[in-house]
Structure 1
Amino acid sequence: MNVLIADDSPTIRALLRVFLMELRPNFFEATDGGRALQLIRLTPIDLVIADVRMSPMDGITFVRDLRRDERPRICSVPVVMLTGERSEEVRKQGIEAGANAFVLKPVDPKVLLETITRILPGPTQ
């Protein structure tokens, strides 16, 4: 399984890799939404975990652009959004853009794994 982690924080990216090790994924990393889109166009990705707040392209814009792609392999990739904001408005914007799920920061590894299991089609191992 190929997992793309899009977050501008190297610390968060490292933590997410540790949290997801039991899935035995191949990890790809991006520091913003624009770089994440480039990677997805070059590499088959099975799951994206993206922070809402990144620069220059934020996570919500990334998801919106991802869902607009005409290639099914790209536009249908499941996306889990991460946010430290408790605002319902942020969640609403993300869901409207096409995010499959939200996980609040600080990330609880159990909640993240349960969320991934829920949104991924078929076995995750």
Structure 2
Amino acid sequence: MNVLLVDDSASVRAILQVYLMGLHPTFLEAEDGERALRVLRLSPVDLVIVDVQMSPMDGITFVRELRQSERPQLRSVPVVMLTSDRSEAVRVQGLEAGANAFVCKPVDARTLLQTIQDVMPRGSP
């Protein structure tokens, strides 16, 4: 399983890798939405975990771009958004953009793993 971690914090990306080690994924990383889109042009992924607040391209804009991709596999890849903003408005914006689920920061390993299980297609790890 290929997992793209998109967060402007290298420490958050490292923590996510520790939490997901049991799934034995291959990790791809990007510091923002623009870089993540470039990574996706080169490598197929099975799951994207993306922070909401990044610059220059935030997570919601990234998801919107992803869902408008010409490549069908990108339009349907599961996306879990991470946010420390607990407002309903951010959640609604993310879901309208095409996110599958949200996990609040600080990230809890069990919650993240359960969320991934919930959004992955049946038969996936």
Cα deviation for residue 70 of structure 1 reads 2.0
Q: 2:8 — aligned with what?
A: 8
| Paired AA for residue 25 in structure 2 | P
What's the counterpart of residue 115 of structure 1? 115
Structure 1 equivalent of residue 47 of structure 2: 47
CA contact (8 A) 1:23 1:124 kept: no
Q: 1:90 — aligned with what?
A: 90
Give the CA deviation at 1:8: 0.2
| C-alpha contact 1:41 1:74 (8 A) present in aligned 2 | no
* Percent of residue pairs identical: 64
Q: Which amino acid aligns with 2:107?
A: V
Residue matched to 2:69: 69
Q: Distance in 1 between matches of 2:78 and 2:66?
A: 10
- Partner Cα separation in structure 2 for residue 53 and residue 23 of structure 1: 26
Aligned-pair CA distance for 1:122: 2.5
Identify unmatched segments of 5+ residues in structure 1: none
Unaligned runs of 5+ in 2: none
Secondary structure in 2 aligned to 1:3? strand
| Cα displacement string for residues 7-33 of structure 1 (whole angstroms, at most 9, x for unaligned residues) | 000110000000000000000000000
Matches of 1:37 and 1:115, distance apart in 2: 23
Structure 1 length-normalised TM: 0.97
CA distance in 2, matches of 1:61, 1:26: 25
- Deviation, 1:77, is 0.8
TM-score scaled to structure 2, two decimals?
Answer: 0.97
